[in-house]
Amino acid sequence: MCHAIKMTDDTQLLTLQNQLAQMQVQIDALKKDKAVWQEDKVEMQTRIDHLLAELKLSKSQKYGRKSEKAPRGTFNEAEQHKTSEPPKHHKKGKQSLAKHFEREDVEHTLTELACTCCGEQMHHCGSEDSEQVKIIPAKISVIKHKQFKYACRHCEHEELSCKIITAPKPAQPIPGSIASPEALAAVVTAKYCDALPLYRLVDIFERGGLKISRGTLANWCIKVGVLIKPLVKAMQRHLLGEHSLCADETRVQVLDEGDNPSSNSQMWVYRSNEVSKQPVVIYDYQAGRSRACAEAFLRDYQGYLQCDGYSVYDGIEGVIPVGCWAHARRKYDEALKAESKNKGRAHKAISFISQLYKIETQAKNKKLSPQARYQLRQEKALPILTQFKAWLDEASDKVIAGSYIGKAIKYNLNQWHKLIRYVEDGHLGIDNNITERDIRPFTTGRKNWLFSKSVNGAQASAILYSIVMTCRANDINPYYYFQHLFKTLPARQSDDDDFTDLMPWNVHLDFDYS
């Protein structure tokens, strides 16, 4: 009986041990599931934080301030030391009107000259002058060309036939067209300088009594683009001989380009550096955004090229890419707007970059030469860059790779060899903002006219924008420059002519503004 009891106890013990083992397996499985759930929770929370950051950045970009400048009152290490220069005050009072405006005198006199005190006659003793602006909408007039004919009296009486010679008129930009150089200059200036779509110009001209179709205006733009193309090619050759260049690109939709009308082509922009004495801006229309597009334009160029972090600019033979600190700073600005926590690193990075920009401001205010600017950067900017690089290396291991601050630091480190290259040469700028400003009029116009219908229209736009932005870079009135070109270029016989005399810095535009 004792033996039976012992067997029963052993059986129960074995059963309990088996149950305990099963429970341990279940516990291990639950622990494993818990660990997986914990990982999923962390991953999900990271994803939620990232989506919230994207939402916050999107709302900030849509509704918030567009400027990257720090608001007043924000602490900035680069501005701790106040300048000793006195603050600049804006002039107050009425604006003085330019002397070249036509003046129209309107006299105001008293009808009753009897003195209110004694009744005696008052006499004129001076005047009080004030001026107002008078603006007349687009004035449309007609140029009537009368070409006189000449015949020889002697031949009329003595010969069997008499030759009649007609006095020639100057070569016209569009032969047989009603468009004068002044009309063409007005149309292309309104479209490419003021971003007015052609349909609005049609309405403006119709209010002035001239009915003209949008298709006709578009045809004018394309034809004058072809007329000006040799000059723009000459400007491009001048540009490729510069010490250093800047580049950027933006999308443009061309309906007749390729099989898909909604696909985007590209408008590439190249320009002289910010210290160039004879700056040139060239727009280059291309169907794509590949390396081949940049290589085709830059094949005859050797030197520095300041651009953003787009990889197609890397590895082009003879071209040394230079980074843009504005793009680097923009990444940290996005991190500040997107992330609610851990903003300290973004503020620290922006503080470093602000110190670099403060040095550039000093150089600009003192109007330093490229050599002097190089010396200033070597003395003041290099130590800051050394400190910044050490901070980036340390911070890169402490941030989440997928976060906005992590992406900003990674971009900074990946682009570092190009970002610090600007200190090598005083001709180089610290950023590529000068090119972004030159591309902005195109993007503004694109919001109005949305797309180009044909490839010829897009190419003409590139040519005409090149003239407009080169005029702006050289502080020249584009309307009068276009007018001069449309009167001069038709007489040029060959595309291989020397266009040196027509370069913006060689043209003296002496026009009567009235």
Q: Is the pLDDT of residue 183 over 90?
A: yes
Q: Is the pLDDT of residue 74 over 80?
A: no
Whole-angstrom Cα distance, residue 504 to residue 501?
8
Contact predicate 329/54, CB 8 Å:
no
Contact predicate 463/407, CB 8 Å:
no
Encode pLDDT of 93-120 as tens digits.
567 778 878 888 888 888 888 888 887 8
Whole-angstrom Cα distance, residue 484 to residue 481?
5
- Strand 244-253 versus strand 303-306 pairing type: parallel
User: What does pTM read for this prediction?
Assistant: 0.77
Annotate 397-450 with DSSP letters as a single string: TSS-TTSHHHHHHHHHHHTHHHHGGGGG-TTS-SSSHHHHHHHHHHHHHHHHH-
Annotate 442-474 with DSSP letters as a single string: HHHHHHHH--BSSHHHHHHHHHHHHHHHHHHHT
Contact predicate 321/59, CB 8 Å:
no
Q: Worst-scoring range by mean pLDDT, 81-90, 109-118, 281-290?
A: 81-90
Tokens at 141, concatenated: 């007039």
**Predicted confidence band of residue 48 (pLDDT cuts 50, 70, 90):** low
Whole-angstrom Cα distance, residue 113 to residue 285?
71
Encode pLDDT of 340-365 as tens digits.
677 788 899 999 999 999 999 999 99
Cα dihedral value 244, 249, 255, 256, nearest 10: 30
DSSP state, 502?
A: G
Q: Is the pLDDT of residue 417 over 90?
A: yes
Closest by CA position to 286, among listed 309, 308, 270: 270
Domain ranges of the chain: 324-431
